[in-house]
Structure 1
Amino acid sequence: MNTTALPVPAAAPARSRKRILIPLAGLLVAGAIAVGSGADFVANSVNTNNAYSTGTLAQTNSKANTAIFNLTNLKPGDTLNGKVTITNSGSLPAGFTLSESAVNGFASKDNLTLTISTGGATVWTGTFGALTTGAPVTLGTFAAGEAREYTFSVTLAQSAGNEEQGKTATATYTWNSTQTAATTTEQ
């Protein structure tokens, strides 16, 4: 039997294996980075110029710091009418009220009456100076820019006697406005 030995291939030097493995490892790392970084979809949108501003609360009184009415030599049965226009001159709707600070010096206070009206509707009526005994009179909500004219009518009763001669009464009226309730706006 003839045994011939087959030649055993020579083992590759270790240096040559490193030459092949290092580039292969580099390619694998580069491939992983490329796959990991390039596979995402991206989209953006922007909302610019988001803003808000506050409103204003203001009022205009056509007779600010002056009398609505002023008459001397009032006699029994006389009525004095004075008018004033109140305007919501702010940009916000507001609830308005009216209060009075008054002194009625008549012997019988009921002889002098006051009626306040607007647009044909009576807002308040009673004895001059009695508006101070209650809470301010609620006038309702005025829209921004809305104006209302109020008429103040003061009457000395026809039945007033000599005891009312030389008597006086004075009043100061204060108009207050308050913002309406806060709201939530959906956009």
Structure 2
Amino acid sequence: MTNIAVFASGTGSNFDAIIDAIENGILDARVRLLVCDRIGAPVIEKAQNHEIDTVVYRPKSFENKAAYETAVLEDCKQRDVDFIVLAGYMRLIGPTLLKPYERRIVNIHPSLLPAFPGKDAIGQALAQKVKVTGVTVHYVDDGMDTGPIIAQEAIKIEKNATAEDVKQSIQAVEHRLYPEVIQSLFIKEESL
């Protein structure tokens, strides 16, 4: 079983999907830690309800990004974290975490990267009037949604769809695809 840390900043819908996938035997992992960078984020209560260790740090209270990530790295080491899963974590990861977890940090993004990286990918897609968008799971590097793509799945944007409609369609794909892709990475790593 793989020990994972989930990094999240918000409501935690992908956190819920990961927990559900573990409980339903789809994902052979144990969430050892939730790392959150926003005090009061709803995901914190979700983790506590599942008795998952939680750390909430305000990055601005650290001297710099390296100091913040050093504290997070120590928390991960203390819990024997093998793999980091970003689930709505709204910070770029720096070398302090990237080096020890090379190719063991993944992210999910609500677009078909490289299209619409960064914040509000759904709003960007609607503004560009594209007919198709989707979901991308990728390895994390030091850029914004620039890491190597692992998996993608497209969704059609229906005529007159609102941002909420598109968000619901994307989340339905995310909540199924992310745990499946993470599990496939664990299987691949075990076979090496």
State TM-score, norm by structure 2: 0.23
- Greater fraction helix: 2
What TM-score do the two structures reach when normalised by structure 1?
0.24
> Higher relative contact order by CA 8 Å / sep ≥ 6: 1 or 2?
1
Higher strand share: 1
